[in-house]
Structure 1
Amino acid sequence: MKNIIYITGHRNPDTDSICAAISYAEFKNKTGKICAVPIRLGEVNRETQFILNYFNVEEPELITTVKTQISDLDIDIVAPISPQISLKMAWSIMKRNNIKTLPVIDENNRLAGVVSVSNLASNYLDIWDNSILAKSNTPIENILDTLSAKCLYTPEGDFKTTGKIVVAAMHPDSTKSVIEAGDISICGDRDDTQNLLISSKVSLLIITGNHTPTDEIIKLAKTNKCTIILTPFDTFTASRLITQSIPIHYVMTTKNLVSFNSEDFVEDIKHIMIETRYRSYPVLDQDNKVIGSISRFHLISENRKKVILVDHNEKAQSVEGLEDSDVLEIIDHHRIADVQTGQPIYFRNEPVGSTSTIVATIFFENGIRPSKSVAGLLCAAIISDTLLLKSPTSTLVDELTLKRLAQIADLNVEEFAKEMFKAGTSLEGKTAEEIFYQDFKTFTLNNFKVGVSQVGTMYIEGFDSLKEDMIDLMNKKAKENGFALVLLMLTDILNGGSVLIAAGEHKEIISKAFNVTLTNSGVYVPGLVSRKKQVIPPITVAMNKIK
């Protein structure tokens, strides 16, 4: 998931938030060699789902955090190894890739163990039992590879040795006293010694110096079913190397393994690394298959997720873990709030009715024509955010942009708006919670935490039966989450006004901000349709007067 730029709107996304993210991702992908991916921070509402279905566009992927994960790091991507490969081959892989640990997998590609440099070092530092090849069931292929040998003869069936390793450097009479059937013997080019070893029924005869035995010796080997191989190494080197042919399953660590998943968060694995202190740790994917390994070194140069924010610039409204990411751009039409960045960024904030108006303008400024489906999404977002240009936030720029986009999308704006509002504004069958969180935003005003939900509807009278449940929900929200004020704007799209429902310790602020009287925690305010332009500013002024 590295080298991806995530483009996201705010939590509890509305139509503008979703459509702006999808559309700006198309622009970035058309104009740069990047992979821009639109994401969402919550479920899409009915209106937005209608729009996505209408223009045949998939909803963005749901991502709830942009904290750094293992998948963001440049971990060691080394193919996991089979438990049958030799110690020599494992060491060669480690040197070639400059790593200290290798994950080992079973026949189902699942983690079976871990082999490290310390496991391999024991091959030299520990005193090995000279029957180690037999005990570890070392295959002949490992021996051939380790000794760079070639096989002159091997009997049918699987190779299996049951004895010890013997270097036949003594006189044949002395060798005879130590050799046993099933042994592995290393010898030079002496015919008498070779004859003795094979006659003693050794399982494997290793002839050093690439000295080819006589036909009689090969014939004798066939009779006694003794495998013969030739190695170019001298006797000392061959005897030193042969234990490196042991399969790694004999030395690998299999107990108390600590592994991580590619989706694990870096902040979580740091504590585990401190407590366990292994050199490195296997990393598994979602199917529990090994994809690489990670060490403390990788945490030093961690790659943060790259994020572009649209339709918001307030930390409380944004994705979790934003402080652990790199914010590259902000495209918004709300007040400037509290998102902080570690470096200068492209920040575009314009007093228009919709973020999608700004996104469309960016397309046109760069001579880029949005696709027909994206032009449709941008139209829908402008219609939604400006209530078909009836909102006081609506500007001439919104109107002209909507007209231009509608031509590209081949869209009858009036007819589409009716269908869209009808699909998205019905309250029938919805719970108080579903309505409240449809478009809920959090603000910090004069150090007070304020939450404002806005729901547009063409059937405002259908809310009466839900009012008491809504007030209970809002009071609970205020108490449990420390909100000084929780407000619901139930906006009448047809008549251009809103019912305000208030809860929280400072709900009387509504009376002062709008010069109204709350009755049973609610009041209807004609002409009030914009949260951004008509609600937040007067509440901010009223909040600033609280001492």
Structure 2
Amino acid sequence: MNFLVYCLLPAASVASAASPVLSVFGHKVPDTDTVTAALVYAWELNARNISATAYRLGELNPETDFVLKRLGVKVPPLLTDVSAKDAVAVVDTNNPQELPEGILKASIHSIVDHHKLSGLSNAEPLEVDMRPLCSATSILYARAKLRGLTPTKDVAGLMLAGILSDSLEFRSPTTTELDKIHAAELGKLASLDVHEFAEGMLEAKANVDHLSPSELIMMDTKIFNIGGKKLRVSVMETTKAAGPLAKKAELVIAMKKLSQEEKLDDVLFFVVDILKEAATFISSSPTATKLV
């Protein structure tokens, strides 16, 4: 059976009576790395005879949708919350604010992440693999190599997509030489031209004309507490920055509305021109401008 099909089977069809099926997921407002990492980690766990099912915590963005369709991989089911003692594995985050409300009551089996420590705790010891690589899937590929697990073409494609997305095709300062080596190896395993695949992803990422200002703000966003203020920081990475920047007035209105609805001090929105490697900051208040 194809491992990715196995990872997406309903829990009852893969679990034994003796061990619960692990629910594997990343952060809310999922990006490409968090979705692909969940699928890949579920593949790894099942290869280790640990029953696991991959999930997502929100709707796919255009880039992730492109990746899954390009690779012929089924979209993982939506998970809305977890209950006390649910067995879970977390990827691409260790921040409780980015996870389901019930996460602190769940039984966390493991965490695979490339971000700084952000406060996720568990009542029992757990496996944690955190490394300074550009993406969670880059870590997962390193783990697979160490265990002697050879990714199938679709799994290799998912790993490659996570690396290319989070590194902006190696433009991000978080990119390491090891990430580049991983990408080259994965391109061969997936039978994909790395640059061509990355171009397709960037083109899909820029395809946002159909999205409302509110949807643009919520496409890649996280909440932070900085200097005693609760802030939502949103980022849009695109090769076509002119489109969203032309909607600046509508974006500011949507930002102010969101700030009121979520009782935030401010919303900060950055439009990143990937090709020019430059960012434009859009603020909804003078306070936000002072914080940047």
TM over 0.5, shorter chain: yes
Shift of residue 504, structure 1, vs aligned partner: 5.6
Whether 2:25 is the aligned partner of 1:8: answer yes
The runs of at least 4 consecutive aligned structure 1 residues that moved more than 4 Å come to: none
Shift of residue 508, structure 1, vs aligned partner: 3.3
Report what 2:195 is aligned to: 414
Amino acid at match of 1:45: N
2:41 to 24, 29, 34: 24
Amino acid at match of 2:31: D
Residues 329/444 of structure 1: CA separation in 2 closer, same or farther (3 Å cut): farther
Whether 2:126 is the aligned partner of 1:360: answer no
Residue correspondence of structure 1 range 493-504 to structure 2 within 5 A: 493-503=274-284
Segments of structure 1 that go 5 or more residues without pairing to the other structure are: 69-303, 512-547
Is contact 2:271-2:281 (8 Å) kept?
yes
What CA distance in whole angstroms lies between the structure 2 residues aligned with 1:64 and 1:412? 36
What CA distance in whole angstroms lies between the structure 2 residues aligned with 1:505 and 1:477? 16
Amino acid at match of 2:212: T
What CA distance in whole angstroms lies between the structure 2 residues aligned with 1:431 and 1:401? 36
2:66 to 47, 50, 63: 50
Whether 2:79 is the aligned partner of 1:63: answer yes
Shift of residue 22, structure 1, vs aligned partner: 0.3
Shift of residue 495, structure 1, vs aligned partner: 0.9
Whether 2:119 is the aligned partner of 1:331: answer no
After TM superposition, the score normalised by the length of structure 2 is: 0.90
Residues 486/346 of structure 1: CA separation in 2 closer, same or farther (3 Å cut): same
1:455 to 236, 260, 273: 236
Shift of residue 505, structure 1, vs aligned partner: 7.6
SS at match of 1:418: helix
After TM superposition, the structure 1 stretch with the greater mean CA deviation from structure 2, 477-486 or 412-421, is 477-486
Shift of residue 510, structure 1, vs aligned partner: 3.2
SS at match of 2:209: coil
Percent sequence identity is 31
Shift of residue 450, structure 1, vs aligned partner: 2.2
Shift of residue 315, structure 1, vs aligned partner: 0.8
Report what 1:111 is aligned to: none
Residue correspondence of structure 1 range 57-456 to structure 2 within 5 A: 57-68=73-84, 304-456=85-237
What CA distance in whole angstroms lies between the structure 2 residues aligned with 1:504 and 1:66? 36
Shift of residue 320, structure 1, vs aligned partner: 2.6
The RMSD of aligned alpha carbons is: 1.6
Is contact 2:81-2:102 (8 Å) kept?
yes
Residues 55/360 of structure 1: CA separation in 2 closer, same or farther (3 Å cut): same
What CA distance in whole angstroms lies between the structure 2 residues aligned with 1:425 and 1:361? 30
Number of residue pairs matched by the alignment: 275
Is contact 1:329-1:345 (8 Å) kept?
yes
SS at match of 1:62: coil
After TM superposition, the structure 1 stretch with the greater mean CA deviation from structure 2, 308-317 or 486-495, is 486-495
Deviations 1:49-87 (A, max 9, x none): 00000000011110110024xxxxxxxxxxxxxxxxxxx
Report what 1:36 is aligned to: 52
Deviations 1:272-315 (A, max 9, x none): xxxxxxxxxxxxxxxxxxxxxxxxxxxxxxxx211111111111
What CA distance in whole angstroms lies between the structure 1 residues aligned with 2:258 and 2:168? 28
Deviations 1:184-218 (A, max 9, x none): xxxxxxxxxxxxxxxxxxxxxxxxxxxxxxxxxxx
What CA distance in whole angstroms lies between the structure 1 residues aligned with 2:225 and 2:119? 9
What CA distance in whole angstroms lies between the structure 2 residues aligned with 1:313 and 1:502? 28
What CA distance in whole angstroms lies between the structure 2 residues aligned with 1:430 and 1:341? 38
After TM superposition, the score normalised by the length of structure 1 is: 0.49
Amino acid at match of 1:316: Q
Amino acid at match of 2:89: I
What CA distance in whole angstroms lies between the structure 1 residues aligned with 2:234 and 2:101? 20
Residue correspondence of structure 1 range 447-486 to structure 2 within 5 A: 447-486=228-267
What CA distance in whole angstroms lies between the structure 1 residues aligned with 2:88 and 2:225? 23
Is contact 2:214-2:255 (8 Å) kept?
no
What CA distance in whole angstroms lies between the structure 2 residues aligned with 1:360 and 1:54? 20
Residues 446/490 of structure 1: CA separation in 2 closer, same or farther (3 Å cut): same
Amino acid at match of 1:23: V
Q: Which has the larger radius of gyration?
A: 1
Amino acid at match of 2:146: E
Segments of structure 2 that go 5 or more residues without pairing to the other structure are: 1-10
SS at match of 1:422: helix
SS at match of 1:370: coil
SS at match of 2:219: helix
Is contact 1:378-1:405 (8 Å) kept?
yes
What CA distance in whole angstroms lies between the structure 1 residues aligned with 2:107 and 2:290? 37
Deviations 1:125-164 (A, max 9, x none): xxxxxxxxxxxxxxxxxxxxxxxxxxxxxxxxxxxxxxxx
Amino acid at match of 1:452: V
Is contact 1:502-1:510 (8 Å) kept?
no
SS at match of 2:236: strand
SS at match of 2:101: coil
SS at match of 1:499: strand
SS at match of 1:6: strand
